[in-house]
Amino acid sequence: MKRYSLVVLVLSLASAFVFFLGRAMLELGPTAIDLRAPVAAHLAESGVTHPVTAVLLNYRGYDTLLEIAVLLLALLAILAVVGEAPASPTRAAHPVLQALGRLAVPLMVVVAVYLLWAGAFRPGGAFQAGAVLAAAAVLLHLVGLLPGWSKPRLGLRFGLAAGFALFLAVAAGLLTQGSLLQYPPAAAGVLILLIESGLTVSLALILAGLFLLLSREAEA
C-alpha cells in the first residue's frame, strides 16, 4: 500500500517535528529584547491609549498598510478569477427571517460604530467594525433583501479602494514630517481616527464583496 506508507511517513515526520520543536522551545531563557517597555513609553505620543492599536496603526502601521493592500488585492484576484457572470436572483426567505434581519442590521451598524470608536482605548478598531458591517450585509443577502454582486461599478470600486487610498495618501503626506507614516504626536489621534473610519467603510465593502461576489450560482 503506497498510500498507507505515505500517511505513516508524513505523520511520523510531523510528530518528530513537534517533539523537537517542543523541546527546543522549553530550552529558551528570557529574551534579549523586551518591546513592552518602549511600547508603553511612547503610548502618549502614539495618539491612542490601547497598546495593540498603537502597534497596529502607529509603530507598525506600515504592516497594516500592506495588509489592507493584500485584502484589496484578494478581492481583485477573485474578480479576475470569477469573471463576469450574472448575479444570482435573490430568493426571498421566510418573512419572519426577513423581519429579524431588518431588526438586526441597525443594531449591527450601531455595534460597528461603537467598535470603531472603542478601538482607541480597548479591543476594537476598524477591522472589527468592518467585519460586523460586512456580516450585516451578508445577513441581508441571506434573507433575500440584498442581491449578490455581479461586477462592481465605478461607485462601488471607489468605495472598495477609498479606505486604502486614504491610508496611502496620509502615509505619503506624512513624509513631510520626516518619514513615511510619521505622525506628529499632536495630530496622531485625529489622523488615526480618520484612517480607521475610511478603513471601516472599505473593509466592510471588501469583506462583504468576498462573500457576495462568490455567492453567485455556479456557472453551468
Partner 1 sequence: MSTGFIFALTGAILFAAGVAGVVLIGHLLRRILAFNLMGSGAFLVLVGLAQRQDVVDPVPQAMVLTGIVVAVAATALALALVRKLHALTGQLELPDDVDA
Partner 2 sequence: MLEPLFDPLVWLILLPLAWATLAFVLGPGRGAWPAIAGLATQCWLAIELAQKVGAGGVTNHVVGGWGAPLGIDLAVDGLSAAMLLLTQAVALPLAIYARSYFKLNDPAGTWFWPLMGFLIAGLNALFVSADLFNLYVTLELVGLAAVGLVAAGGGAQQVAAALRYLFATLVGSGAYLLGVALIYGAYGTVSISTLLPLVTNDAPRLVWIAGGLMVSGLMLKTALFPFHFWLPPAHGGAPAPVSALLSALVVKASFYLILRLWLGPLQTVLPAFAWLLAMLGAAAIFWGSWQAIRAVKLKRLIAYSTVAQLGYLFLIFPMLAAHGALEAGVMQIFAHGLAKAGMFAAAGVLIKATGQDTVAGLAGSVERLPVTMFAFGLAGMTLMGLPPSSGFLAKWLIIEVALAQGHWIIAMVVLAGGLLAAVYVLRVLRQAFLLTPASATLTPVPRMLEWSAFALAAASVLLGLRGVELMRLLGAMA
Q: How far is CA 128 from CA 59, 111, 188, in A?
A: 20, 10, 21
Residue 89: CB atoms within 10 A of its CB come to: 10
Residue 209, helix vs strand vs coil: helix
* Rounded Cα–Cα distance for residues 60 and 218 (Å): 40
Residues 188-217, one symbol each (x = binds partner 1 by CB under 8 A, - = not), give: -------------------x--x--xx---
Q: DSSP assignment, residue 174? A: G
186 binds partner 2 (CB under 8 A): no
Q: Which of 206, 201, 200 is nearest to 152 (CA)?
A: 206
- Site residues (vs partner 1, CB under 8 A): 6-7, 10-11, 14-15, 17-18, 21-22, 25-26, 28, 30-31, 35-36, 39, 51-52, 54-56, 59-60, 63-64, 67, 70-71, 73-75, 77-78, 81-82, 127, 207, 210, 213-214, 218-219
- Site residues (vs partner 2, CB under 8 A): 20-21, 23-25, 27-29, 31-35, 38-39, 42, 58-63, 66-67, 69-70, 72-74, 76-81, 83-84, 151, 154, 157-158, 160-161, 164-165, 168, 171-172, 175-183
